[in-house]
Amino acid sequence: MPTIAFRIEVHQASTRMLERWGPGLPSRPHWRLYWNDRPGARVWVGRLSAALNPDKLVLIPPRTPIRRKLDKPVSHHNIHFSLGLPWDLVRGSVFSLDAPSGVADILSLAAPLRAGIAGHFAMSELIMGCFRQLPTSVFTGFVFDERVTETIAHMEDHRERRIQNAELAELAHMTTNAFIRLFTRQTGSSPQAFYLQMRLDHAAILLIRRSLLTVEQIADATGFHDRHHFARAFNGRYGRSPSAYRRLSDT
């Protein structure tokens, strides 16, 4: 299991009557937690599927494309959140988990405009209850060398600028080539590819959460000081321009 601390950052919490469930955005940069008040909906990740029922919570990892189907209207509740790295590296699955008693009351506290201290505690407890149900094998491979962990934390703290491999290697007290080999072996990505994906995922979250920020401001906040360069990179990761991504609603 990872020894790195996590932090729950909620990006969205909403409740609404769902009468149709279009494709929306099939892949998001964060975790998604769903609960419906009655049967009638299902989500798929590849060949895996999970039905949404009152006694179940459905948890979808970040960057996991899904398909979804709604057979009849339901009251739909969702929480979108991040835990930080390496926890957010889980992907490619869907988890059907036991819902706690009183889940509807817990989720009602998390709805917009009512998410005060009680709501935040309720959301955190619900999320942690889900993760207690996951098998530890879900996080296999995410125990990184502390030098890699330290450089990932440095990337997260400096998403607004470009970081060169030499800077990361110096932080790890390694030569640049040795550091690149270690980082790539442990994460499956080169430092620069990993850092680019991190910045683009953060941009996606900013597009979702902070509608007052312009695309140019979001590009600047994630180290892309050219809107066109940002748009090309974002489209390559999400298959849509930043403006189109912002316009698409999702639940």
Contacts of residue 247, defined as CB under 8 A and 6 or more positions apart, other chains included, come to none
What pLDDT is recorded for position 105?
84
Per-residue pLDDT for 220 more than 50? Answer: yes
Q: How far apart are CA 80 and CA 129, in angstroms?
A: 15
Q: How far apart are CA 115 and CA 86, in angstroms?
A: 27
Nearest one of 204, 213, 211, 205 to 233, comparing CA atoms: 204
- The answer as to whether 209 is a domain residue is yes
Looking at the fold, whether 135 and 158 belong to one and the same domain comes out as no
Distances from the Cα of 239 to the Cα of 9, 179, 204, 249, angstroms: 25, 31, 12, 15
- The answer as to whether 1 is a domain residue is no
Per-residue pLDDT for 1 more than 50? Answer: no
Nearest one of 69, 76, 81 to 130, comparing CA atoms: 81
- The answer as to whether 2 is a domain residue is no
Looking at the fold, whether 114 and 15 belong to one and the same domain comes out as yes
- Final residue belonging to a domain, choices 139, 166, 188: 139
> What tokens appear for 15 in the block?
């409740």
Q: Are 77 and 15 in contact (CB under 8 A)?
A: yes
Partner residues linked to 56 by β-bridges = 98
Q: Three-state secondary structure along 39-89?
A: CCEEEEECCEEEEECCCEEEEECCCCCCEEEECCCEEEEEEEEECCCCHHH
> What tokens appear for 126 in the block?
């619900």
Which residue is it, tokens 């932090």? 7
Ranked by mean pLDDT, the top range of 103-117, 149-163, 201-215 is 149-163
Looking at the fold, whether 19 and 116 belong to one and the same domain comes out as yes
Encoded amino acid at 33, one letter: L
Tell me the average pLDDT across 14-29: 80
- The answer as to whether 4 is a domain residue is no
Total domain count for the chain? 2
Could you give phi then psi for residue 118, rounded to 5 degrees? Answer: -60, -40
> Structural domain of residue 237, as residue ranges?
146-247
Looking at the fold, whether 211 and 163 belong to one and the same domain comes out as yes
Pair type for strands 31-36 and 74-82: antiparallel
Looking at the fold, whether 90 and 211 belong to one and the same domain comes out as no
Tell me the average pLDDT across 26-33: 86
- The answer as to whether 50 is a domain residue is yes
What pLDDT is recorded for position 226?
84
Looking at the fold, whether 157 and 119 belong to one and the same domain comes out as no
> What tokens appear for 171 in the block?
């932080």
Looking at the fold, whether 92 and 165 belong to one and the same domain comes out as no
List the CATH number of the domain containing 124: 2.60.120.280
What pLDDT is recorded for position 25?
64
Per-residue pLDDT for 23 more than 90? Answer: no
List the CATH number of the domain containing 195: 1.10.10.60
Measure CA 205 to chain center. 8
- Final residue belonging to a domain, choices 110, 139, 168: 139
Mean pLDDT is lowest, of 80-84, 140-144, 173-177, for: 140-144
- Regarding pTM above 0.95, the answer is no
What pLDDT is recorded for position 246?
85
Residues above pLDDT 90, as percent of the chain: 51
Instruction: Please state the length of the chain.
Output: 251
Segment (H or E) for 34? strand 31-36
Segment (H or E) for 120? helix 117-133
- Final residue belonging to a domain, choices 139, 157, 175: 139
What pLDDT is recorded for position 34?
95
Per-residue pLDDT for 235 more than 70? Answer: yes
Q: How far apart are CA 85 and CA 30, in angstroms?
A: 11
pLDDT single digits (tens) 193-207: 999 999 999 999 888
What pLDDT is recorded for position 196?
95
Q: What is the mean pLDDT of the chain?
A: 87
**What is the Cα Rg of the chain in Å?**
19
Per-residue pLDDT for 163 more than 90? Answer: yes
